[in-house]
Amino acid sequence: MDSGNYSALFQRLLEHANIAALRQEQEQARERGRYLGIGFCTFVEPGGLAPSPLSAWAGLSYSNYGLPSSLTEVATVRINPDASVTITTGSCSAGQGHETAWTQIASDALQLPMKNITVLQGDTQGNPLGIGSFGSRSAAVGGIAVLQAAERVRTKAAAIVAGTYQTASDHVCFMNGSAYVEPGSEKKLTWQEIAAKAYQPTLLPPGIEIGLEAVVFFDPLGVVWTYGAHLAVVEVDVETGAIQLLRYIGVDDCGNVINPMIVEGQVHGGIAQGFGQAMLEEIVYDEKGDLLTDSLKSYRVPVAENLPSFEMERMETPTPLNPLGLKGVGESGTIAAPPTLVNAVLDALAPLGIHHLDMPLHPHKVWEAIRQARGE
């Protein structure tokens, strides 16, 4: 496992929740006949599935599954003649905000405004190869390919500036849309001027090829490990079996964060999905094998009234396995929420001697368990 500070993260959860006060509140509620429960889940999640030795060991070969022998990701970064930037990437967004994150990575590497950057995803006519978005791998694999392609473009741009001013390229620095011969120097070229030279062979310094583009396949050294600790507080109505989620707290560590809003949104969505799995969603057939939950009228999914505002915190323990220290986060909420919620319900029902319930925890299922525990 690459990196983590597990004890400190769990302590952060306990401090945020004020666990001593919660337990006191729970005892006082039980004295009044209210059944409050507090549930925990700690988890680790491997992400960034891509390392070529791992994919070879797992037998993910072209002949077996129609996949290449490696699950690497590729990105192309091109500075166009007008100094706009086009990124083509094999990883495709399914709502995770790749367009924003990849733009941020390239903008920072090239010191160009985000508005100048266009991201094209999953176009097989414009990109050599793309495996896809799964296994919390997009940023830790596809995002790093974008970074390294942008860095190669920047290195070539630095060579153009150095050749223009007869200086060493490793002295060139980029900031505010320009490349300076060295920090504080008045000698500089804007990206527009660099791009103009890059596409005009007669303006290029000797030995530099025309164009300003790089293609990078990123093959990481290993998988990255995201981790977190979540806590839920629920109240169970023992007369009806109904469950109310009162509080949900999560502390997650997915390494360095590119965009906090995107990360928080993915965790929020994952928790909501996990609530659905734990409490609502179920495929039901009748005795003839006919599907009864064949529409959203009968197949229940979470809605806003089911969920409180989540209380989220974050730690950042960078991974040493990629240059941005990124891990995955897309599945964290779905991993943590179901056991957290079930543990909370079982904690609420512990005084009745109920220690196991299978998901989903429908009110009728909970009510039946309570009746059996009471011998009714």
Per-residue pLDDT at 58: 65
pLDDT at 57: 67
Question: The tokens 């001697």 sit on which residue?
Answer: 353
Domain 6-48+223-374 matches domain 52-218 at the CATH topology level: yes
DSSP 121-179: ES-TTTSS----S-TT-IIIIIIHHHHHHHHHHHHHHHHHHHHHHTS-GGG-EEETTEE
User: In 3-state terms, what secondary structure has residue 347?
Assistant: helix
Residue 23, pLDDT above cutoff 70: yes
pLDDT tens-digit profile of 124-144?
Answer: 777 767 777 888 889 999 999
Name the DSSP class of 291.
Answer: B
% the chain with pLDDT above 70: 95
Question: Whole-prediction pTM value?
Answer: 0.90
Rounded to the nearest integer, the mean pLDDT of the chain is 92
Distance CA(136)–CA(174), nearest Å, equals 32
pLDDT at 48: 87
Q: Where are the domains of the chain?
A: 6-48+223-374, 52-218
Q: Does domain 6-48+223-374 have CATH number 3.40.50.300?
A: no
d(CA 129, CA 332): 27
Q: What is the pLDDT of residues 54-110, one digit of tens each?
A: 766 666 554 455 555 577 888 999 999 999 999 999 888 888 899 999 999 999 999
Phi, psi (degrees; rounded to nearest 5) at 182: -160, 160
Q: Tokens 């004890």 correspond to what residue?
A: 7
Identity at 176, one-letter amino acid code: N
Cβ(167)–Cβ(185) below 8 Å: no
Candidates 1.10.340.30, 3.30.365.10, 3.40.630.30, 3.40.50.720; correct CATH number of 52-218? Answer: 3.30.365.10
Q: What is the pLDDT of residues 172-218, one digit of tens each?
A: 999 999 999 988 888 999 999 999 999 999 999 888 999 999 999 99
| pLDDT tens column, 224-275 | 999 999 999 999 999 999 999 999 999 999 999 999 999 999 999 999 999 9
pLDDT at 122: 78
pLDDT of residue 131: 77
Q: Give pLDDT tens digits for 272-304.
A: 999 999 999 999 999 999 999 999 999 999 999
Cβ–Cβ < 8 Å for 252, 32: no
Q: How far apart are CA 62 and CA 224, in angstroms?
A: 24
What gap in Å lies between CA 216 and CA 74, rounded to an integer?
Answer: 5
